[in-house]
Each structure stands twice: as structure tokens, then as C-alpha cells.
Amino acid sequence: MKFAHTALYVLVVALVTPFTVVAGDSNQLRQNSEMTQALSEGRPPERLNWYSTSRKDILDAIIGIDPAWRLTSKLWHAVSVDATNAKEIFKSVAPYEHKSPIAYDILTPDGKAIGVYWSTIPRTVVQIGKGNEVKVFPPEPPVRP
């Protein structure tokens, strides 16, 4: 009986954890298929400030933040994105489990889009602070047993 309870607990945690990591208390991401298409074709919105993050020279993610918001995360680096380099930049995000990158809207708690998150790893944490401050953590691949 104890094994059945433990197995049920592990199953529930395994099913709920990915959604908690992606959509935790302070984290708001919503998949945006139109933006995925646009970024895949090298057509990013011009109104955003763009940043990238990487580990060991592997580009993990790119975010675009509305200029009315201030990115407070220190692990992102400004990237100049324009019509001449956009397609190359967005295609350079590292594959993860043979998946193509997907665009997600970065949302405030009330559902207002303030930016775009582009990665093959849809696990990150977004924290909305006071005075239009936003902190986006680098993506976290799931832990493998």
C-alpha cells in the first residue's frame, strides 16, 4: 500500500512539475504560434530590446523586452537584431531534444504581453518587479534521472 501511495505521488509530481516551472506563481509565458512563425522567418518585432543567454558558447534563448520595461537579470546580454541578421540570430538557438525553438509571450500577472521568449527549452522563471522591472532567468533543461 505504501508503494502505491509513493508511486501515485511521484506520478502527480512528474505531471505537475513541468507546468509549475513554466507557469509558476510569478512566471507568465504563453505560446505564440504567430510569433514563432515570424521569428523562424527572421521577422522580429522592431519595438523590442533583444537579449541572449548562453552556456559554454551554446545559445540557449533570446528574449525581446518592451522598452517600457527594464530587464534586471544579469545573465542576459544585449543583442543587436535587424533585418540583415535576424534570421541568422534566431536560427542559432541551440536545439534541445531535436526540437525547434518556440516563441512565448512574456506576460505580466494581469496578462499583458511585455516581451517574447524564444527557445527550445520552455522552462524559465519570470519575475515582475516594481516600477516596470522584469527578471527573466535563463532556461533550465529538465533534470534527467
What Å distances lie between residue 143 and 18, 21, 34, 123, 140, CA to CA?
11, 12, 30, 11, 9
Length of the chain: 145
pLDDT tens, residue by residue, 63-86: 999 999 999 999 999 999 998 999
pLDDT along the chain (145 residues), means of 10: 48 40 55 96 94 86 97 94 92 87 95 96 90 92 59
| pLDDT value, residue 19 | 35
| pLDDT value, residue 16 | 41
| pLDDT value, residue 144 | 55
Q: Would you tell me how many other CB atoms lie within 10 Å of the CB of residue 139?
A: 19
Q: At 87, list the grid cell.
A: 534570421
Can you give the pTM of this predicted structure?
0.77
Q: At 10, list the grid cell.
A: 511521484
| pLDDT value, residue 46 | 87
d(CA 59, CA 122): 14
